[in-house]
Structure 1
Amino acid sequence: MPIFRLMLIFVFFINPLETLAQGFQVAFGNSGQDTKLPVEVTADSLSVNQNDGSAIFKGNVNIAQGEMRMKADKVNVHYSSDTSGIARLVATGEVLLTQGPDIAEADMAEYSIEDGTVLMRGNVTVVQDINTIMADEMTMNLRDNTAEMHGSVKTILKSE
């Protein structure tokens, strides 16, 4: 039995409480994301609020930045304080995030472009090749291609 499989058996079956308390770390996507690339947004409608520096895209929202793609029912765009660029995106309603071959779904996602992080909450499901990981919350660091899962982490590992 390969050492990796023995480690997984220990982590998930012999010591499950420690695994849930610490979270579960995974990679997401093929490589790091360049968060300085332009962000392209398409949607059915757009409303802009000049007072608070935000914009709301609704209906079939599609976001692309480099290799990363995000889809949602609604995305609230928050601009930086000097309105020179986007500070963060908050997506709600059937959020789907893809980067390379990896796919993540959740009820909501907040992408902080300045930090290069994505926080996904609510029914998070990550599909990587033939394996699936589910949790209450996932925090991704797009720059170094890592993700950490927290809360009711469940992993389904399949052999080929």
Structure 2
Amino acid sequence: MTSLEEENNVLFTGNVDAAQADVRIRADEMTVYYTAAEESKKQEVKRLKCIGNVEITRGEWLGTGKVMNYLAKERKVILSGGAKAWQGTNLVSGDTIIYYLDEGRSEVVGSRSSATVGTDEEKKSGRVRATLTPQ
């Protein structure tokens, strides 16, 4: 752990495992950004940035990616870099997944750059993919 007081953040590295209430985050590296002391009566988490082997769980929802940003004010998680999300046995994947904690809903976005050019395989890689298992 490295505290950077002048920048109002703390960096955690090496097999990070953090939990609060029913949310658990694992990553290679996590930076916690705080509000400045003069912005509020006490320092509060403003946002998190996780890099490397990111995994976030909440109940039966599991999201993974290379990078995760959590915006505290909006209470949303943004996973990117080969993002995947599971709910039970159902899987969705895309370039970016946005998970809204208060609403318990996800948005999955495919790559914006591969729509009209490239090989068939390159075009497919930009799509949102889903595997749904009926009960």
Question: 1:127 maps to which residue?
Answer: 86
Measured against aligned partners, the alpha-carbon deviations of 1:40-90 in whole angstroms (never above 9, x if no partner) come to xxxxxx001112111100011111111011100000111012261111110
Residue 154 of structure 1: aligned partner:
129
Which residue of structure 1 aligns with residue 14 of structure 2?
59
1:51 aligned counterpart, secondary structure: helix
> Separation in 1 of the partners of 2:98 and 2:85?
12
1:39 counterpart residue number: none
Partner of 2:76: 117
Moved over 4 A (4+): none
Whole-Å separation in 2 of the counterparts to 1:141 and 1:127: 15
Pair 1:75-2:30 in alignment: yes
Q: Deviations over 1:7-50 (max 9, x none)?
A: xxxxxxxxxxxxxxxxxxxxxxxxxxxxxxxxxxxxxxx00111
Cα RMSD (Å) of the superposition? 1.2
Give the number of equivalent residue pairs: 115
Q: How far has the Cα of 1:113 moved from its partner?
A: 1.4
Q: Is 2:29–2:50's contact at 8 Å kept on the other side of the alignment?
A: yes
Identical columns (%) = 24
SS in 1 for 2:36: coil
Give matches, 1:78-117, under 5 Å: 78-82=33-37, 84-117=43-76
Higher relative contact order (CA closer than 8 Å, sequence separation 6+): 1
> Structure 1, residues 70-127: CA drift from partner, whole Å, max 9, x if none?
1000001110122611111100000001000111110010011122111111101111
What is the alpha-carbon distance in structure 2 between the residues aligned to residue 78 and residue 113 of structure 1? 10
Aligned partners of 2:84 and 2:97 also within 8 Å: no
Per-residue deviation at 1:158?
2.3
| Unmatched runs of 5 consecutive residues or more in structure 1 | 1-45
Residue 6 of structure 2 aligns to a residue in which SS? coil
Normalising by structure 1, report the TM-score: 0.68
